[in-house]
Structure 1
């Protein structure tokens, strides 16, 4: 295999992501040629003279700024958030089968969103409830994990996540049962399938700040996860504050995961399979694994969203598509998982 430096891997991945995003900005049911896009971009950024008439500029505003750009940016943010969160949880628990939903954040956020849809039509309140209950579910997991002393903390934390996830899944079932089957219930079910169709540029730019902070913070913690992989006692012997690092990791990964659910519903498998693939390709060093997981996760969801929009005459929910793609990939990855973690 061609051996590259860390910065070269990251540069190549970022360049590929940028090229893909640019091509998808031009490609769709209404394709835009390069000359038209260049003229439009020059006009919008530098207010230069253009041969485009006002009707064409208005049409391009709608296509690019209202539809394609928000979805592309949101796909990049969510893909990067879920993949990085998955890599962090796998490193923290030293377990290749861990995903961002391990502590119940996805179940809690789903319940919060469904509750919001039942109580109000204000989309902001629905998002706020989804975000809040995502954190409540994780707090409940941590509380359960801390109740049992003299036991392995990681195992109890995972057990707390299972209990919390099951509890909020049951609450979600109650919401579905009492929801109006002709209006509210279909909206809840569709949202739970995952979709980027609700993306708006202002909302995406606003949510990008905490998501990017979370992603970059997790990436900067890569060296600590390398030490944690040796075991808690060994990490403490090397001067690492294990409790602080794990607490920060849980907060950052929960923040990124819950915001992803808030913006697009449940999108599975990215946080599970992407870190596996990167680890098999470049090794276990988290200094490179985390940024590449973010880049490849963003690229994966970007391509999946383009397929969901363009493969059929109706849009396929992105959560369904990532599951259909992720399951066979994960079956292949499992064959090499043991070697990648040794």
Structure 2
């Protein structure tokens, strides 16, 4: 039994790379396998010898359109899943996700503000991060002010903060130019990776890498925090400082993801529970598995978005249609606990 479980875990770690290759073939423009292999070999040869990469329609579709979108989908899925599982551990609450605590709406408003005022990738990401962080601290402050000790108060605090920023998003939409800015905001809020290029990946890779690296290195401390504040302090952990670091890093990766993909729900809530079913509650294994499952899940969703219909379906719609039934199934099976 342990051997079979070990082999299953190994397959899961390889799944994103296998899906990446399969996703290159998926789309309305069909690309034969032989052509893909030739393009890869020609690209490697050109880069190695410093020569020009042969231009062709196949090469443009594969490496200028599909590949950056595939990489973005994997990064976004990985970031949202890592943020979700980190928040769940820090707050010892299986219902917590970046969006439930208001980070998604806060970052969404920041990005909308960036579109209205600057329409610049750097400012959109920066404002998304700042307002995502403000939303998170607002929810935590409300929870502490009410002296709540259970799940309900924390979730309600997040709902209140999320409602405020949702109203501000509506205000931004009302003030936007109906012919230019409003369509961009509306389409962005529904979630899409259709316009992703390599230049967009550059802006999000650095903050995502920093945030996820810190969370990965601190995953054993999240284990300790999930035991409770008293137990963590008895083991020599500075609870307040460590919680703040984890919150900032999780908010950073969430805001970076939202800044290019829009508000995509359910990923940060459902994927951690699926990962917990696979490897258990130990964050030494749970956090890496959440990265893998998140990247695979988001890549699958993006593949469906661009192949199921003639016109592309917004990612947020698909994640809701897929994530809600999965979450309902987990509740029915009683798989919501930590153990």
Secondary structure at 2:56's aligned position in 1? helix
Q: 2:306 matched to 1:287?
A: no
Hey, what's the Cα distance between the residues in 2 that align with 1:287 and 1:4? Answer: 19
CA RMSD, aligned part only? 2.7
Hey, what's the Cα distance between the residues in 2 that align with 1:74 and 1:25? Answer: 13
Higher mean Cα deviation, 152-161 or 65-74?
152-161
Q: 2:266 matched to 1:253?
A: no
Offset of residue 56 of structure 1: 7.2
- Mark the CA change 1:248 to 1:154 in structure 2 (over 3 Å): closer, same or farther: farther
CA deviation string 1:166-214 (max 9, x = no partner): 2212211222233334443232221110001121112213421221232
Secondary structure at 1:315's aligned position in 2? coil
- Mark the CA change 1:158 to 1:31 in structure 2 (over 3 Å): closer, same or farther: same
Hey, what's the Cα distance between the residues in 2 that align with 1:155 and 1:252? Answer: 24
Q: 2:131 matched to 1:136?
A: no
CA contact (8 A) 1:10 1:291 kept: no
The match for 2:32 is: 33
Aligned length: 336
Hey, what's the Cα distance between the residues in 2 that align with 1:139 and 1:62? Answer: 44
Which 5+ residue runs of structure 1 have no aligned equivalent? none
CA deviation string 1:209-242 (max 9, x = no partner): 2212322322222222222222111111122221
Hey, what's the Cα distance between the residues in 1 that align with 2:43 and 2:229? Answer: 54
The match for 1:45 is: 44
Hey, what's the Cα distance between the residues in 1 that align with 2:4 and 2:220? Answer: 16
Q: Which of 85, 88, 101 matches 1:87?
A: 85
TM-score, normalising length: structure 2: 0.89
- Mark the CA change 1:48 to 1:208 in structure 2 (over 3 Å): closer, same or farther: closer
Which 5+ residue runs of structure 2 have no aligned equivalent? none
Higher mean Cα deviation, 296-305 or 219-228?
219-228
- Mark the CA change 1:121 to 1:218 in structure 2 (over 3 Å): closer, same or farther: closer
Q: 2:268 matched to 1:271?
A: yes
CA contact (8 A) 1:85 1:256 kept: yes
Hey, what's the Cα distance between the residues in 1 that align with 2:288 and 2:306? Answer: 27
TM-score, normalising length: structure 1: 0.88
CA contact (8 A) 1:284 1:340 kept: no
Hey, what's the Cα distance between the residues in 1 that align with 2:150 and 2:284? Answer: 25
Hey, what's the Cα distance between the residues in 2 that align with 1:253 and 1:7? Answer: 29
Q: Which of 169, 178, 184 matches 2:175?
A: 178
The match for 1:111 is: 109
Hey, what's the Cα distance between the residues in 1 that align with 2:200 and 2:177? Answer: 28
The match for 2:57 is: 59
Hey, what's the Cα distance between the residues in 2 that align with 1:325 and 1:174? Answer: 30
